[in-house]
Structure 1
Amino acid sequence: MSQSKTRLEVRDLVTIGVFGVIYFVCMFAVGMMGVVPILYLFYPTVFGVVGGPIVLLFMAKVQKPWALVIFGMITPIIMFLFGHTLLVPGVALVTMLVAEGIRRIGKYRSLRYNMLAYVVMATILCSSLLQMLVMKERYLELTEAEMGREYTEALKQLISVRNMGFVYLGAVLGGTVGAFLGRKLLRKHFEKAGIV
């Protein structure tokens, strides 16, 4: 790739913004299942499936370095602005750099590596629950202010190191299903974009 073909342009940034908004809206809609505390544990799994086609289509449209990192950081930054702790964007940045590295190995045009990059990206939402283990008091304070004491106490009983492991495993499984679903639904787009 020449430098001009690898540099992000205004239209790429617009595409990142549009897809970022779509991704966030879908994440928020799926996140409504979290009003029932036990279902909050399955939130990353379910959204891993839903988000697959969105992110894979985005990767087909913008095959340039750092596009995925910028796209992937939009939601965590919004979450932080809405009251989540710094852990969310911090974990997201590390996760997105790993996903970017995977995508780079595939030269941004490998469907296999793009799918793997998405599976890694799908674990970002786990940081929402990870806050309860790493920054417990702060997270409980924020949750109680937003959802009430009863909800907070119910969620508190569910969060443990073991359950957090299941949450991450679920996110990987959901991301894998989402990646394959995206591949199936968007095959024509991949062929048109020259992704194999």
Structure 2
Amino acid sequence: MATESNAVRKTGAGSSYTAKDFILLAVFGVVIFLFFMILSMVLSFSIDIAYWTHAIGGIVGGIAWVYVAARIPKKGAMAIMGLIMGIVAFLMGMMWTVAVGIVVGGIVAELVLIAGKRSMPAHIVAYALFMLCWWFGQVALLLFASDSYVQMMVSAGMTAEYAQAVIDWSHGPLCVAAGVCTPVGGAIGAFIGTKVFKKHFAQLIG
């Protein structure tokens, strides 16, 4: 009976959401998003490192993300947090592709967690893919609608020359390197998170 109870808690099967769950998902979703937004602002002084935000920030963000995933091991939890983060991104005036990337990433992460029965390796893969989807949403407009991106940046007060420099960067090798390193950074962050969780928060799921 105890084994069955632990299994239910680990997979989230048969458990319903509480107001506390939604509050926790919303708070951590906003905090994680704001962390990345601030880091992006810090790194944006250089075009060459501006789009490494997710690769670098994923190492720190993974700890918080894994904590939430373990604290609320219920089906759909990470998709809900992804939706909340996507809404925040949209309300903050981010490119619509960013919001879509976050929401899709949350769904992908949730599917990986379900398929992996919310194991520790599943958390690592799920977060790595979440970060990759978020990053791709960030650069999608640069890659596939560069003219729209330039117009958007000019409307926001940037110079056309700066916007074009960003476009040129997105079609170069550093963009590819950033894309490869993003899930790697996410995996490292999630791995650290699983170790921290295992040591300090194991009682959360029994």
TM over 0.5: yes
Counterpart selection for 1:172 from 183, 189, 200: 183
Match status 1:135 vs 2:145: yes
Identify which range, 26-35 or 142-151, moves more after superposition.
Answer: 142-151
2:93: which partner in 1? 83
Q: Does the CA contact (< 8 Å) of 1:23 and 1:54 recur in 2?
A: yes
Identify which range, 24-33 or 2-11, moves more after superposition.
Answer: 2-11
Query: What secondary structure sits across from 2:74 in the alignment?
Result: coil
Opposite residue 64 of structure 1, the aligned amino acid is K
2:69: which partner in 1? 59
Match status 1:95 vs 2:118: no
Partners of 2:135 and 2:165 in 1: CA distance: 20
1:21: which partner in 2? 30
Partners of 2:140 and 2:97 in 1: CA distance: 8
The alpha carbon displacement at 1:50 in A equals 1.8
Partners of 2:192 and 2:200 in 1: CA distance: 14
Partners of 1:47 and 1:91 in 2: CA distance: 16
Note closer, same or farther for the CA distance 1:137–1:76 as it changes in structure 2 (3 Å cut): farther
Q: Tell me, which stretches of 5 or more residues in structure 2 are unaligned?
A: 1-7
Identify which range, 52-61 or 186-195, moves more after superposition.
Answer: 186-195
Partners of 2:157 and 2:60 in 1: CA distance: 25
TM-score calculated relative to the size of structure 1:
0.86
Opposite residue 135 of structure 1, the aligned amino acid is A
Deviations 1:40-72 (A, max 9, x none): 131121111121101011111111011101112
Partners of 1:107 and 1:19 in 2: CA distance: 23
Note closer, same or farther for the CA distance 1:46–1:4 as it changes in structure 2 (3 Å cut): closer
Identify which range, 93-102 or 80-89, moves more after superposition.
Answer: 80-89
1:113: which partner in 2? 122
Partners of 1:26 and 1:91 in 2: CA distance: 17
Deviations 1:109-151 (A, max 9, x none): x112112111111111331122111222222222233351143
The alpha carbon displacement at 1:190 in A equals 4.0
Partners of 1:79 and 1:173 in 2: CA distance: 23
Q: Tell me, which stretches of 5 or more residues in structure 1 are unaligned?
A: none
Alignment root-mean-square deviation, CA: 2.3
Opposite residue 20 of structure 1, the aligned amino acid is G
Structure ID, larger Rg: 2
Q: Does the CA contact (< 8 Å) of 2:13 and 2:74 recur in 1?
A: no
The alpha carbon displacement at 1:96 in A equals 2.3
Percent identical: 24
Aligned length: 194
Note closer, same or farther for the CA distance 1:126–1:59 as it changes in structure 2 (3 Å cut): same
Counterpart selection for 2:39 from 24, 30, 35: 30
Opposite residue 15 of structure 1, the aligned amino acid is L
